[in-house]
Structure 1
Amino acid sequence: MPKAGPYYLYMLDFKRDEEQKRGRNLSLAEVSQLASASWNAMSEDDKVYYKEKAKGGAVKVARPRSSCNSSTKSSQLYTTQGVLVSLYDEEKRKEKEDQENMRKRIGNMVQQLPLLSDFLDYPIYLMYGNYFYKNNEGIHCPAEIGLVKFTFRDGILKRHHEFIQPEKTELGYAYTAKAHSEDTHRLPPPSLHTKAFGEKNFQRVFYNINKFMRADGVPVFDGGNPIIFTYNDPHASEGNQIEVLKDFLNQFAEPNAPNIDVYPLTRLFYVLRKELATRGKFDDIPNEGFTNVFLSRDPYETTGGISCEYHEEKDATRHCALSRVHRLSFLLADHFCKPLGVRLVAGQHLPPNADLSNSLLSLRSESTASTTNSIKRESEGESEKPSPEAEPKLARSVAGPHIRASASTLNFDAQSVQTASSSNAPRAKRPSRGSLVHAQTLEAQSQITSSTFYNRT
């Protein structure tokens, strides 16, 4: 198993003990409630075994007997799947509570911050993770993370990218890890490392994430846990990103470490769009499913210069975790900056090689200029509103020539929504890869933090 903290190792033992008693597999969600209470009830002497095991090397103390409560057996009711009814009810209650809390927090975040002042500078953290395989217990073996700090006013402010090196591949998963790697991120699985690279200490990975998010001293708007947003593309092969990142953070963190909440970007997008609709800056949209239509288009997936060095060389940029979070940032800026009155800047809001002169979203507001000459006049104190005839033409070119073949990302038209949301309809064909343009580096515009890069020697 990859190196993990004492509690995580205990939870795995606890899970195996319970499965032997019940004669069936249990999910981590089912076990976490019981394991947490059992761990807290253990004495410090009993915990020594797991603390020594987490350090690696020989363990000189015996494993304590399971602290499972033997009274929770046949005297309690079970569902038809063999799950304790009390545990099932508690799990469903917790899921519902988490969903309600997520919706309430995102709604308050958008409504409490004035949209045209504080909200423009409030940091949004976007994260994406790649893994080698997912085992039968639902645990993802981590491979890579990408994290950016984004504001609507300044775009991408800083980035963090880190490769992760698990200790080994679990028995029986070598082929799965190799196949998944070849189909996606192309990072060498642990068992195939010839020149290993990546952070081995999982707790250090969590420390780096926490440090990245807390370095600027920006308080969370409601005083709660820090929030990371991610997007789960239903068409992607990298797995459900909400589950992946929650599992990663669970593996990385020590017991009693500060929690980080992982929320869906679709919800933030939807609430922000609805709020702007009430202010007359957007047409309203009926439900959150419409936001997935926009985010799944991913018109920047073949853009060069926004992924890490390794994936640029391996020609696997679209699967790079750093590229993923860059592209999510570009989509947010592409869609919301104009209604928020923010002018796009290449290399911060959009790729460094984006052609802003023909983009409707490059305008500061509805009343600003619509062409390069108009932008010049704006700097001289003049302004001109785009004509109704010119506006649709400008909308067809959102972020430059490298995505001209893609549909406009400005609006949710009825036809595209119907096509994209239909379960039987084929997904729109993405643009061909072609040769990637190695654009200028973003180092001049944003601070880079990357504690680990691969061994090039």
Structure 2
Amino acid sequence: MAPKKHSGFMMYVTEFRKKKPEGQRMSLSQAIDYCGSIWKGMTDQQRGPYISGAKNADVASRARRDTLNCHGEVIAAREKEERDAAKEIGSMKRNIDRMVREGRNRCDLENTKFIFATFNYFVRGLNSQIYIPAEFSACQFSLKRGVNSLYSTMIDPGHLIFGLACDAMKHSGGTHRLPLPPLALGEPIMSKLYQSIQDYLRSRLDRGDQDLKSLPVFTKTDDITMVKSCFHFIKTGCEEEQRKHEGNYDEDEDRFYKVDVSKFLPIVVYDVQYLFLALKKEAMDVGGLTSEKPNLYVTDAFFSRDFYEFQDGISCQYHEEIDRSKYCTQSRVNRWAYTFCDYMCADLAITMLPGKHMPPSYKSATVQAKFNSDASVDSFFSLATAPSSTLNRKDREERSPSPTISTASSLTSINSIPAPKVPNTASPKKFQENPTIWGGTLKHYGVLLKETKDRFILKYDKAIDDFSDDDFNVTINDMSWSRP
């Protein structure tokens, strides 16, 4: 930025405020008004020293250079950015703590609703935080109801950043494998897309419109910048379409699609991993657990394990068909919700239901964990501490049905996730050999199933999960079996 230019008049005003008693009692605006008439009556000879001083100040200002770091950035500006970022993070954490405390103060922590949201993107700008969105998903979550509703859509941005088509091909090919523009799937009208997202977020929050000042969503720590940029891209596209006055033609509804941009609420992106910590602490307090409270490092380690990473049946139809469910945004928000339930439902004695608190292919109706207390809850995380247990052969061989998959090329809002019946394609032999594998995910926990005459005792030393992106193989080592 160019240095500020000095003026002879302002040099005179500064001197007047410093040396004259009456000037010391004046504000800057009062001194300027008072000195204006005096300056007009001064001769060029009287003005000369002040004009000369202003020129000398300009020369000194241009000669002064800011100190740079090793990256060529101004240190003072960089430090200011870090302070602003730290202030923003502190404000975000206080807001998350407030949301969780409000739920506890209402004695309704288990029914407090949160919105999980994330994007897939085609490409990122080289020297900027600009992301071109490709897919968006959001879900409403609470500990009591689990995943209560789901919104998923693909996005057609119309174009990519000039010169980055090769980078977009590499990123897409290595992750979500969505077709690039101009062959992209999904909604091409940003006004319609942003209106739909706003409507969904508004309808899924507890507070009324009169109290609603922003729309909070939660995403992973590393994705906050990306999610903010994608929301900004869609909002900017919506505003540009509306400025054209003619709007953008909607072929489906045979009319111009116009929206009132002034009614849109700002979308605020929060850290889902900090929410994971805050909600866990409050759940332990409400549940009366006296064990040591976890810290952010413990909860981040648990969250990053992503137990359901290779779970099928929880992503969109497109990614299920191309075997890329791991990268699907619908799968990601579902997995976050299942991880929350897996870690906290036991604290509040909430029964976990397939399709709500865990993937639909998991059979929780027959999985019960016995604790020292009288409570009996369903939680695969809690089952890790259960003693050796019995397994029913029949329950191992049965599989629960998969959930309904949303249409890949259209906007989808699912109020409930039913579990339709599908043919049983599981291999009984595979489940007899590996009885603790459900839906391709390894659970090496002691489990107590319904007692029957035909049962086994499971004893193990350790179990190792070996997954690969190609075939998702699972192997079990050091596991022994013995009949009672």
Q: TM-score range by the shorter chain?
A: 0.5 to 0.7
Q: How high is the TM-score relative to the length of structure 1?
A: 0.61
Give the 3 Å change call, closer, same or farther, for CA 144–173 of structure 1 in structure 2: same
Q: Percent identity?
A: 25
Equivalence for 1:151: 142
Give structure 1 regions of 4+ aligned residues with deviation exceeding 3 angstroms: 72-90, 220-224, 254-257, 276-280, 357-361, 363-366, 368-371, 392-400, 406-410, 427-436
Tell whether the 8 Å contact from 1:166 to 1:190 is kept in structure 2 after alignment. yes
Tell whether the 8 Å contact from 1:229 to 1:265 is kept in structure 2 after alignment. yes
Map Cα deviations across residues 44-88 of structure 1 (whole Å, 9 max, x no partner). xxxxxxxxxxxxxxxxxxxxxxxxxxxx98878454355456644
Map Cα deviations across residues 89-143 of structure 1 (whole Å, 9 max, x no partner). 5423321221111111111222232279422222111112111111112211111
Are 2:263 and 1:226 equivalent residues in the alignment?
Answer: no
Give the 3 Å change call, closer, same or farther, for CA 217–294 of structure 1 in structure 2: closer
> Size of the alignment, in residue pairs?
326
Give the 3 Å change call, closer, same or farther, for CA 269–90 of structure 1 in structure 2: same
1:345-384 to 2 correspondences below 5 Å: 345-357=353-365, 359-360=367-368, 366-369=373-376
Tell whether the 8 Å contact from 2:314 to 2:334 is kept in structure 1 after alignment. yes
1:383-402 to 2 correspondences below 5 Å: 391-393=386-388, 401-402=438-439
Residues of 2 paired with 1:217 and 1:370: CA distance? 28
- How far 1:186 sits from its partner (Å)? 0.6
What is the identity, as a one-letter code, of the residue corresponding to 2:320?
Answer: E
Residues of 2 paired with 1:206 and 1:395: CA distance? 52
Equivalence for 2:331: 323
Say which of 179, 189, 193 aligns to 1:188. Answer: 179
Which blocks of at least 5 consecutive residues in structure 1 are unaligned? 1-17, 23-71, 233-239, 372-385, 411-426, 437-457
Equivalence for 2:153: 162
Larger Rg: 2
Equivalence for 1:91: 81
What is the identity, as a one-letter code, of the residue corresponding to 1:226?
Answer: L
Are 2:120 and 1:113 equivalent residues in the alignment?
Answer: no
Q: How high is the TM-score relative to the length of structure 2?
A: 0.58
Which blocks of at least 5 consecutive residues in structure 2 are unaligned? 4-60, 240-261, 397-434, 448-463, 474-484
Give the 3 Å change call, closer, same or farther, for CA 360–292 of structure 1 in structure 2: farther
Question: RCO higher in 1 or 2 (8 Å CA, sep ≥ 6)?
Answer: 1
Map Cα deviations across residues 367-406 of structure 1 (whole Å, 9 max, x no partner). 24479xxxxxxxxxxxxxx9x9993346999997236624
Residues of 1 paired with 2:385 and 2:294: CA distance? 28
Residues of 1 paired with 2:384 and 2:66: CA distance? 68
Map Cα deviations across residues 279-313 of structure 1 (whole Å, 9 max, x no partner). 53373345212112111222222222211111111
Tell whether the 8 Å contact from 1:146 to 1:321 is kept in structure 2 after alignment. yes
Give the 3 Å change call, closer, same or farther, for CA 354–428 of structure 1 in structure 2: closer
SS of structure 1 residue aligned to 2:218: strand
- How far 1:325 sits from its partner (Å)? 0.7
Are 2:271 and 1:264 equivalent residues in the alignment?
Answer: yes
Equivalence for 2:442: 405
- How far 1:228 sits from its partner (Å)? 1.0
Tell whether the 8 Å contact from 2:114 to 2:205 is kept in structure 1 after alignment. no
1:421-440 to 2 correspondences below 5 Å: 429-430=466-467
Map Cα deviations across residues 169-193 of structure 1 (whole Å, 9 max, x no partner). 22321111111111110101115x2
Residues of 1 paired with 2:72 and 2:142: CA distance? 47
Give the 3 Å change call, closer, same or farther, for CA 216–300 of structure 1 in structure 2: closer
Equivalence for 2:227: 245
Equivalence for 1:51: none
Residues of 2 paired with 1:409 and 1:165: CA distance? 47
Give the 3 Å change call, closer, same or farther, for CA 76–253 of structure 1 in structure 2: farther
Tell whether the 8 Å contact from 1:350 to 1:399 is kept in structure 2 after alignment. no
Tell whether the 8 Å contact from 2:119 to 2:133 is kept in structure 1 after alignment. yes
> Aligned Cα RMSD in Å?
4.1
Equivalence for 1:63: none
Equivalence for 1:444: none
Give the 3 Å change call, closer, same or farther, for CA 247–407 of structure 1 in structure 2: farther
Tell whether the 8 Å contact from 1:354 to 1:399 is kept in structure 2 after alignment. no
What is the identity, as a one-letter code, of the residue corresponding to 2:177?
Answer: R
More strand, by proportion: 2
What is the identity, as a one-letter code, of the residue corresponding to 1:302?
Answer: F
Residues of 2 paired with 1:432 and 1:331: CA distance? 21
Equivalence for 1:206: 194
What is the identity, as a one-letter code, of the residue corresponding to 1:210?
Answer: Q
Residues of 1 paired with 2:341 and 2:63: CA distance? 56
What is the identity, as a one-letter code, of the residue corresponding to 2:197?
Answer: I
